[in-house]
Structure 1
Amino acid sequence: MNARIDSGTDNLTQHSLLRFITAGSVDDGKSTLIGRLLFDSKGIFADQLAAVSRSKHKRTVGDTIDLSLLTDGLEAEREQGITIDVAYRYFATPKRKFIIADTPGHEQYTRNMVTGASTADAVIILVDVSKVKLGEDGAGVELLIQTKRHSTIAHLLQIEHVIVAVNKMDLIGYDQAIYDRIVAAYAEFAASLGLKDVTPIPLSALAGDNVVERSEKMDWYTGPTLIELLESLSVYDEAHGSEAHLAPFRFPVQLVARHNGHEANDFRGYMGRIESGNVAVGDKLVVQPSGQSATVKEIVTFDGALQKAGAGQSVTLLLEEYLDISRGDTLAGADAPATLLKQVVADVCWMSDEPLDLRRKYWIKHGTRQTAAKVTAVETLLDINTQQRKAVDNPAAGLKLNDIARIHLNVQQALAADAYADIRATGSFILIDEVTHQTVAAGMIRLGE
């Protein structure tokens, strides 16, 4: 279990950005770990530290700082000592900038964890050594169900790097043998799941061991500290090329821009964000789902015109042709257009307290397109413990909160889609309750599976 670590700077700029989340079961120390990262890396202000020190909800003795309060911003979180909402925090070291998402551990808030994980480059799976069930005679380690659930979601969302932080090592006297057993158990589970880029690290978030400073109490561990590992993980950026740049061109149209009515020229631009690939003046495109051909005339930005643009840039495209294009359409490369789907096969995480009802219609939000959708079948349910997909005996029973399933949908208007494994932006969607307007599921499109 080894993460890909850059020894040089080929794919790592001095101030490249890494987005990561913490995940795990309840009270595994996720908020405390982030608080420790912020505190030891000088990523908090003096007034924030003073406010935490004065908090009436401190769960520490004496003058010891309760680092978990640095991320638990809701009053209910402070009162109960749990994380409910996703808390985003920013900090930087001389080598890299970071955006952290502190996600809840409670099963009922798994949907919040999915939200935080959807944009992450890396995930820290915390394992609390005091909760892991160890078999007798050195045999058998039983991981917690939430550890397995969050690892499964990380795999489904294709998060590139997984760090297994074996936390609270101080509670077991920094015992290497117990650590090795836990790492071996997770490695076995990760193999069954298909996780490849996994790095374990022993630490104590509360005491600060191996978080920013190396722990003298675990001299048997010779790997990097957590902050060293986070600084070294490879993340592709625009300056050095990105996998998103190598993918086919995809440009969901967000807005059609017209002139203000007082000019003679008939300006018509199509505004949006390039989700993958590159585009240049003169390129041949196809409008999806209509299938019309188009040619790029100009690429306009706030800072002026460009000859070419790539993934991640927000631009306005002007075309040579006068075409009927509106919000929800997709401009794609003529040589590799997206697949048009009216029947969709997808893996979904059900995020609503209300179960799936096959008799109801939902809204599907795919890129900038929103259209009516109906779930026609629930093919299989994923068993978190065994990682086996089980056939559904009674599809009419629907999906319940936190269920992960493969489903079939019919959509009213065709989607210009790709497999999630190829292009995340055009391979993902959300389902919305048409009555309450609540997001009920997040889905990943599967093609040819």
Structure 2
Amino acid sequence: MQPIRVLVVDDSAVLRRLVVMALTSADGVEVVGTAADGVEAVHEVLRLAPDLVVMDLEMPELDGIGAVRVLRRRGCNVPVVMVSTPTDDGAQATMAALAAGAADFVPKPVRATSAAEALGMLRADLLPVVRALVPRSLPRAPAAGAPAPSSSPDRTGPDAASGGGAGAPEPGPAGDEGVARGRATGHGGAHRSPVPPVPVPRSVPSRSAAPGPVLGPPPGAAPSAARPSPAALPGRGPGVAPALVALGSSTGGPEALAALVAALPAGLPVPVVVTQHMPPVFTRQLAARLDRLAALEVREAEDGDPLVPGRLLVAPGDRHLEVRRDGAGLVATLTGAPPVHHCRPAVDVMLRSAASAVGSGVLAVVLTGMGSDGRDGCADVRRAGGRVLVQDRATSVVWGMPGAVASAGLADAVLPLADIAPAVAAACRRPVLLAGRGAR
């Protein structure tokens, strides 16, 4: 099995060496070169054809954002992972890099008190990202002048079976190592696999005394080869509408959210909550960017914020967002409870609380992401009578989270990213009659 070939770019020799050590300490990862600025990085990418680039944001000559833009203009879609300073300025620059086509980011270990601690933090953050973006079972593009491989790698292993837009890991615990950060949709995907048949939603036993309506096709029904129109997918009958939209995302989430949220109408008649796997500071900048793009009001959630129509609240880094009843209304509650799937905020926490508070009025949407966070929460949403949409494999950077939901038979529909906002808007135009039914 071929190793993952990585180019490391940083103007700081100390950090460059730490990144190299973090990568080479893992089996199956090979550092094929280094560069000290963006100009040299572009040259080395074109010369070495690495599988992935780890790049600093702030560099002389040409910074990381500029280097990503040059690579994308030249048609080079190699995944680029930025190493970002966890400050407001650094987070803002990170959002710009993701918009330019970077695949992901990891924070610099600025709070480390020793070189050993810094190395450990880089390994924990970086290695899961590298392995998610570049499955080792996929063939590598040869470097300039290199001979073509004599045979193709085996494409029948778990990576090939579950690979997403940029190479997805098999949904499940193996993809949950570390806290996933955000990746840009459609840019990091150097390898794509055919889209498999979508499993028919299975029957989910209800834990509620008042179960919701029957969900989707009956168990055992054959999936339709033709995809229905987005407007027809979320509804399960006249008069059924969500009272809350809950979005979960991770790997590739910032750009997926940007596309989805920008397409939602200003008059959306329900509140929206978002959990994106990101550390503190970065979620605040993510909310600010979404607010600039969206017709809705978007901001980072604060404890006790009311959930009102036309407003979207983003879970802050290092805090779970839970949905709670407050009289006749809903509020966002922030907690420091233990991480779930190594993540805080976690999508499962948000969805489980939403199912408990809103019942069949929940419309859950799971976007691109590494791991399986959201699968258990979607099971609770389905038990309560709510509905679930997931992003499809072809438009996901990593089809871990949405793939886990779909593979468990919990998705009412598996849609391309561009179809999700119209599906949500269409569902929300229906009059609310069953919202709250089945709440525990």
Give your verdict on TM over 0.5. no
Higher relative contact order (CA 8 A, sep 6+): 2
Whose helix fraction is larger, Structure 1's or Structure 2's?
A: 2
Whose strand fraction is larger, Structure 1's or Structure 2's?
A: 1
Which of these two proteins has the greater Rg computed from alpha carbons? 1
* TM-score, with length taken from structure 1: 0.29
